[in-house]
Structure 1
Amino acid sequence: MNLVLHTNHKNLEGQIAVTGSKSETNRLLLLKALFPNITLANTSNSDDSEVMQKALIGKDEIVDIHHAGTAMRFLTAYFAVNEGREVVMTGSSRMQERPIKILVEALAQLGVEISYEKEVGYPPIRIKGKKVSASKVTLAANVSSQYISALLLVASKLENGLELTLEGEITSIPYINMTLALLKDLEIQTSFEGNVIKVYPKETVASKEMVVESDWSSASYFFSLVALADQASITLSSYKKDSLQGDSALVGIYEKMGVETTFEGNKMTLKKQPNFKHETVNLELNNTPDIAQTIVVTCLGLGIGCHLTGLHTLKIKETDRLEALRIELTKLGATISVTNDSLTLVASENINHNIKIATYNDHRMAMAFAPLALKVPIIIEDAEVVSKSYPDFWNDLKALKFEVSEL
């Protein structure tokens, strides 16, 4: 499905209820599988969370998680410690190109038996679940935080808990802290001192309802819309000022791009600052790489330059996001260069009209480019890819008076 986006309404006003955080939901789904007496509210309706839920309650030997990277990592750890269960974890052709070796080797340190069905280091993998008594693992600190969180989520069910030593500079700390905060909410004892994280064993937890905060990555597209509108006031729910999600850094980042954020109850209102003086945006996004696509597209729409660093994990996402951004922004007339971990956009007032944006099976490519419709008509290819994290996205754009039509 290719969608044409444009709008004659440059003044945006509305209220949007954003689906629960995919990151938080998937962590809590796994914790619920380990501790069935907890209940969950405001869970994500994303494809990734539905795949995760299905895999956790299913009994099949073959577990196919399609494009869901979080599910691949979290479930690898879950099935590894699920004594007596044998599964083959597989996914889409892109998933079979995404590395899993670091996590497999970490689990091997705990004595878990995992083998590769095809290429060494990549899914599909065969996992033979066992009772784990070993408790010490060492891992490179600059890897995807999902590997680290996968181990932490199952750690309390290990006979002797887990002592995880991270070697080098730690990236994506907010996502590690999110995992530890959820464990703390369940009164599972943890510590994070220097480069060592400990999780203590716990047989059972008290019955409790866990309410998932809405997704900050999904909110990023509304920050972009407000920045690019002539005037705007958009209220989003349900959000916390002191969020666990790393992408809540959006508030400070977009303040530098003329967006003012206020909180009241569980609602967050974004307002365009009139007559804002824009400057080149320089950001280190080590802790929040998922919002890089949104930010660079906003800068293009504002006619300002940016230099973004700390993006090394983007190369192993749904697509090589840095290369995808370079190709699509160039089609729009941008001058952009990328390295292995950075991106530089040169300021320019010109944006080409009616360009077809390829989405590379990547939900964030589709949504990050959509706000440009405030500046020029734009075509999003394979637009249904947004269902991975935000199935209601196109309907929410229509609620803001965007014209969204199939090509």
Structure 2
Amino acid sequence: MFLTVDPTFNKTEVSVILPASKSQSNRALIIKALSSTDLEIENLSAAEDTLLLKMALEALSPVININHSGTALRFLCAFLCLQKGVFVLTGSSRIKKRPIKELVFILRQLGAQIEFTENDNFAPLKITGNPHFEGGKVELDSTISSQFTSALMMIAPCLKNGLELQLTGDAVSSSFVNLTKEMMEYQGIQVIQENHSILIANQKYNNRKIKIESDFASASYWYSILLVSSHVDKIYVNNLCKKSTQPDKKVIEIFSLLGIESNFQEKNLTISKNRKFILPVRIELDLQDAPDLAQTIMCVCSVLNIELFLTGLSTLPNKETNRLLAMKLELKKFGIKVTINSESSIHQSGLFQQNRDVIIETYDDHRMAMAFSCFMFANQGVNIKDPAVVNKSYPGFWEEISKISNLVYTN
């Protein structure tokens, strides 16, 4: 299936609905399951990742298939160690290549029984749970995935001896660890964080209703569409909090460098374009705390012929696909050169070339499809392959796009 758009609508303003934050939703589900209460979650994400995690937590089946969800893999790996029973945690071929060994080794040090059933150091995992898991003091390399840290933090209050976590290396996506800490503290858990140490004693989660905000990462696609569209000048988005601690809120700061103004009124955000703004010729950004914005920024800078330097990208090769390589391959179709300097930085340059009837490969990666959506408003005839891949995080994305363009599906 392929999707292209006919962006001939003349609407200058549009209101769009964002999905609920996947990051907040997934943490809320784990916290609810660990609290053993009927904790209420308002505005839970309808993303595929979140629904898979919710079903897994409700069923606790002997075999749990989490498809492509890396978050579910890490969070369930830790959670299942505390559950009575034997579980096999598996997923797609891509999941069987994503990092998990460091988390498994830490959990083993704490007393967990986890086996690799196919290939050493990767899923599937056979987990023999123990409700009396004791916990203790461990050291974790924080340069690989912040989800390892978050997974351990959330189970820590349920461990007999709590958890003292010593983090080594330069932490990646540390803002997501801060999000975990904030959500745990909201439920009454005391988290002591000093320098590279996190200490969480044995405690009980409260039963406070959790209200999930809309997702700032999903808002980034509307920022990019607004910027490249020839006719849309203003977009209204819902349920975004000015004081949000979502790491991807950084999108506001980044797009201000490109002339997009963001104005909050209560929990609604209006983004507007300053057509007189003089665009920069080059931008340098560190995305260590918001790597999910990388693809969007690479795409929009390509269309605008802005030279780009990005650092802090070390987690991207191990996402749904190798995102750095995927971006290099797809942007090359439009004359854009991407140099991958290391696993954590890129340099992007070149003049954007129109390319009619080109197909954008999405590599089973929802963010590839949505990041390249702005190309559909800058280059007539761009076709997105496998558009349904957006269901992983933003199921209603194309329906919202139809408010400003005609959708054309082909086989």
Considering the TM-score relative to the shorter chain, is it more than 0.5? yes
Q: Report what 2:325 is aligned to.
A: 323
Q: Report what 2:182 is aligned to.
A: 181
Q: Which amino acid aligns with 1:390?
A: Y
Structure 1: distance between partners of 2:358 and 2:40 = 45
Q: Does the CA contact (< 8 Å) of 2:221 and 2:371 recur in 1? A: yes
Structure 2: distance between partners of 1:252 and 1:402 = 31
Confirm or deny that 1:362 pairs with 2:352.
no
Confirm or deny that 1:342 pairs with 2:345.
yes
Matches within 5 A, 1:281-292: 281-292=283-294
Structure 1: distance between partners of 2:165 and 2:242 = 30
* Equivalent residues, number: 405
SS in 1 for 2:245: coil
1:215-259: CA deviation from partner (whole Å, max 9, x where unpaired):
111111011111112341101111011112101000000000111
Matches within 5 A, 1:218-233: 218-230=218-230, 231-233=232-234
Matches within 5 A, 1:70-219: 70-82=71-83, 84-130=84-130, 131-205=132-206, 207-219=207-219
Q: Report what 2:24 is aligned to.
A: 24
Q: Does the CA contact (< 8 Å) of 1:314 and 1:321 recur in 2? A: yes
Q: Does the CA contact (< 8 Å) of 1:353 and 1:376 recur in 2? A: yes
SS in 1 for 2:188: coil
The alpha carbon displacement at 1:403 in A equals: 3.4
Q: Calculate percent identity across the aligned residue pairs.
A: 35
Q: Report what 2:386 is aligned to.
A: 382
The alpha carbon displacement at 1:12 in A equals: 4.1
- Change in Cα spacing, 1:129 to 1:276, as seen in structure 2 (3 Å) is same
Q: Report what 2:313 is aligned to.
A: 311
Q: Does the CA contact (< 8 Å) of 2:334 and 2:352 recur in 1? A: no
The alpha carbon displacement at 1:347 in A equals: 4.0
Structure 2: distance between partners of 1:361 and 1:252 = 29
1:351-389: CA deviation from partner (whole Å, max 9, x where unpaired):
322210000000000000011111112100011100000
Structure 2: distance between partners of 1:94 and 1:55 = 19
Q: Report what 1:2 is aligned to.
A: 2
- Change in Cα spacing, 1:314 to 1:79, as seen in structure 2 (3 Å) is same
Off by >4 Å, runs of 4+ in structure 1: none
SS in 1 for 2:262: strand
Q: Does the CA contact (< 8 Å) of 1:358 and 1:380 recur in 2? A: yes
SS in 2 for 1:88: strand
Between 355-364 and 125-134, the greater mean CA deviation after superposition: 125-134
SS in 2 for 1:287: coil
Structure 2: distance between partners of 1:312 and 1:385 = 23
Q: Does the CA contact (< 8 Å) of 1:80 and 1:129 recur in 2? A: yes
Matches within 5 A, 1:231-270: 231-270=232-271
- Change in Cα spacing, 1:180 to 1:351, as seen in structure 2 (3 Å) is same
Q: Which amino acid aligns with 2:360?
A: I
Structure 1: distance between partners of 2:228 and 2:321 = 26
Structure 1: distance between partners of 2:234 and 2:201 = 46
Structure 2: distance between partners of 1:353 and 1:338 = 27
- Change in Cα spacing, 1:59 to 1:335, as seen in structure 2 (3 Å) is closer
Structure 1: distance between partners of 2:244 and 2:228 = 25
Matches within 5 A, 1:41-80: 41-80=42-81
Q: Does the CA contact (< 8 Å) of 1:305 and 1:348 recur in 2? A: no
Structure 2: distance between partners of 1:183 and 1:376 = 45
Aligned equivalent of 1:403, options 389, 392, 407: 407
Q: Which amino acid aligns with 1:238?
A: N
- Change in Cα spacing, 1:334 to 1:37, as seen in structure 2 (3 Å) is same
1:16-47: CA deviation from partner (whole Å, max 9, x where unpaired):
12111111100000111112231001111000
Structure 1: distance between partners of 2:34 and 2:295 = 35
Q: Which amino acid aligns with 1:285?
A: L
Structure 1: distance between partners of 2:24 and 2:376 = 30
1:137-169: CA deviation from partner (whole Å, max 9, x where unpaired):
210121211111011111111112111110121
Unaligned stretches of 5+ residues in structure 1: none
The alpha carbon displacement at 1:405 in A equals: 3.0
Q: Does the CA contact (< 8 Å) of 1:12 and 1:229 recur in 2? A: no
Between 31-40 and 318-327, the greater mean CA deviation after superposition: 31-40
Structure 2: distance between partners of 1:270 and 1:404 = 27
The alpha carbon displacement at 1:134 in A equals: 2.9
Q: Does the CA contact (< 8 Å) of 2:5 and 2:405 recur in 1? A: no
Q: Report what 2:14 is aligned to.
A: 14
Structure 1: distance between partners of 2:71 and 2:276 = 41
1:3-26: CA deviation from partner (whole Å, max 9, x where unpaired):
122312476421112111111100
Q: Does the CA contact (< 8 Å) of 1:332 and 1:353 recur in 2? A: no
- Change in Cα spacing, 1:395 to 1:204, as seen in structure 2 (3 Å) is closer
Q: Report what 2:301 is aligned to.
A: 299
Q: Which amino acid aligns with 2:260?
A: V
Q: Report what 2:356 is aligned to.
A: 353
Structure 1: distance between partners of 2:299 and 2:406 = 18
Unaligned stretches of 5+ residues in structure 2: none
Q: Does the CA contact (< 8 Å) of 2:226 and 2:233 recur in 1? A: yes
SS in 2 for 1:72: helix
SS in 1 for 2:243: coil
Structure 1: distance between partners of 2:320 and 2:410 = 24
1:32-67: CA deviation from partner (whole Å, max 9, x where unpaired):
111223100111100000000000011320000000
The alpha carbon displacement at 1:349 in A equals: 4.1
1:298-330: CA deviation from partner (whole Å, max 9, x where unpaired):
001112111111111100000000000000000
